[in-house]
Amino acid sequence: MIPTAPSHLSSAPALPWFRNQFPLALAPMAGVTDSVFRRLCKRLGADLLITEFVSAEGILHRNQRTRDMIAFLPEERPLGVQLFGADPAALADAARAVCDWVQPDFIDLNFGCPVNKVVCKNGGSALLRDQPLLARVARAVVHASPVPVTAKIRLGWDTASINAPANARLLAAEGIQAIAVHGRTKEQGYTGTADWDRIGQVVSAVSIPVIGNGDLDSPATVLQRRQQTGVAGAMFGRAAMASPWIFAQVRAALLGQPIPPDPTWAERWAFIRQHCRLEVQERGNETAVMTAMRARLMAYTRGHPGGKHLREQLQHIRTLAELDAIAAQHLATLPADTHPKEGQPAST
């Protein structure tokens, strides 16, 4: 039986994004989903955006780094700010402060991060094995927030303690209005294969929308997982990092329209260049930005012909001019206007 909502729940409006549609969400990823990348994904068809996770402590101190991480433009709506922590009162205060500060469309609670520096502070996935604390955190934030509250979870701490359906029921009972489920345990991190049968069990356990996350790398996979589990939406993480055009491709598949082909190599480089240029415009220091973008460039060039040599070059990049030179050199080795599947075999 699905628990009824207790009397302490806030009067925040219900989420409208699941009415008559299957929303495509960009997963919150530390060091990845900043405002520039979120806007690019939005233009490609992402429906829901979420900031990088920020700590309740950072919000309450209102430091500049936290301010930058939760800043967004109107075109990014609907957008949620993701919070993590383990102190119910601090998280409630942080939710109030965020809503007063930037007026997001929803607050998202991070109960899924497997990174040890978060877990060791009893945040992220650590709360999956402490259900009383999980409930207190959700209850405090729902009560404090004037906007809807959602949550992201994993299947459990490890394979011996998979408890996602129970945790989902608990969160729904506390007023969480939607749950994203990554189909791996904390112990798995990002290894192995996402277990979509378990995600389907969460869908069956609650009446609120469940968004599926994990190994969604093609339109066909999304359609298959939707039919298999009945999820109400899909969330993309690593696939969006490497191929953000997946949003446009999946949306076309959902609508029964022709699926846009993967960009040509030249189009990919143009997109990469646009992303880097926008980051430089946003932050101002070209060398610092391009140095910080190195890891992103590794993801973007995954599967490119001559990938190993490309990564060796990109590890030292410092300017847009250097990026242009690398792109020109790479494209000169390929047939003009070819798509990835038409060009040379990709090397890793």
Distance CA 346, CA 348 (A): 7
Using the predicted structure, report yes or no on whether residue 215 has a pLDDT greater than 90: yes
pLDDT tens column, 11-38 = 566 788 888 789 999 999 998 999 999 9
The helix/strand count (H/E) of the chain reads as 16, 9
Shared domain for 244 and 106, answered yes or no, is yes
Instruction: Give helix 219-229 / helix 196-205 axis angle, nearest 10°.
Output: 40
Shared domain for 278 and 228, answered yes or no, is no
Chosen domain end from 200, 232, 254: 254
Shared domain for 241 and 151, answered yes or no, is yes
Shared domain for 133 and 167, answered yes or no, is yes
Domain extent, residue 277, equals: 265-331
pLDDT tens column, 233-268 = 999 999 999 999 999 999 999 999 999 999 999 999
Q: What is the mean pLDDT of residues 301-322?
A: 90
pLDDT tens column, 263-306 = 999 999 999 999 999 999 998 899 999 999 999 999 999 888 88
Eight-class DSSP state of 344: S
pLDDT higher for 223 or 16? Answer: 223
- Given this model, what pLDDT does residue 347 score? 34
| Cis status, amide bond into 78, omega within 30 of 0 | yes
Q: What is the mean pLDDT of residues 198-211?
A: 97
Shared domain for 41 and 190, answered yes or no, is yes
Distance CA 164, CA 148 (A): 21
Residues that are catalytic:
113
- Given this model, what pLDDT does residue 345 score? 37
Using the predicted structure, report yes or no on whether residue 348 has a pLDDT greater than 60: no
- Given this model, what pLDDT does residue 10 score? 54
Eight-class DSSP state of 9: -
Q: 337 falls in which pLDDT band (50, 70, 90)?
A: low
Distance CA 12, CA 273 (A): 41
- Given this model, what pLDDT does residue 73 score? 96
Counting the structural domains of the chain, the total is 2
Using the predicted structure, report yes or no on whether residue 66 has a pLDDT greater than 80: yes
Inside any domain, residue 259: no
Q: Read off the pTM.
A: 0.91
Please state the φ and ψ torsions of residue 109, each to the nearest 5 degrees: -100, 130
Chosen domain end from 206, 234, 254: 254
Distance CA 72, CA 246 (A): 22
- Given this model, what pLDDT does residue 86 score? 93
Which two tokens mark 333? 């080795």
Q: What is the mean pLDDT of residues 209-227?
A: 97
pLDDT tens column, 74-110 = 999 999 999 999 999 999 999 999 999 999 999 999 9
Q: What is the mean pLDDT of residues 160-188?
A: 97
Shared domain for 183 and 310, answered yes or no, is no
Shared domain for 319 and 250, answered yes or no, is no
Shared domain for 92 and 204, answered yes or no, is yes
Shared domain for 291 and 147, answered yes or no, is no
Q: What is the mean pLDDT of residues 190-210?
A: 97
Eight-class DSSP state of 48: B
Q: What is the mean pLDDT of residues 6-14?
A: 57
The DSSP code sequence of 56-84 is HHHHHHT-HHHHHHH---GGG-SEEEEEE
Distance CA 46, CA 281 (A): 23
Shared domain for 138 and 28, answered yes or no, is yes
Inside any domain, residue 11: no
- Given this model, what pLDDT does residue 1 score? 32
Using the predicted structure, report yes or no on whether residue 338 has a pLDDT greater than 70: no
Shared domain for 242 and 132, answered yes or no, is yes
pLDDT tens column, 113-153 = 888 888 878 889 899 999 999 999 999 999 999 999 999 99
pLDDT higher for 308 or 77? Answer: 77
The DSSP code sequence of 130-165 is -HHHHHHHHHHHHHH-SS-EEEEEESBSSGGGB-HH
Distance CA 336, CA 269 (A): 13
Which two tokens mark 234? 């899909």
Q: What is the mean pLDDT of residues 58-80?
A: 90
The DSSP code sequence of 254-287 is HTTPPPPPPPPHHHHHHHHHHHHHHHHHHH--HH
CATH number of the structural domain spanning residue 52: 3.20.20.70
Inside any domain, residue 220: yes
Using the predicted structure, report yes or no on whether residue 330 has a pLDDT greater than 80: yes
First to last CA, the chain: 49
Q: 2 falls in which pLDDT band (50, 70, 90)?
A: very low
Q: How many CA atoms lie within 13 A of 71 on its CB side?
A: 10
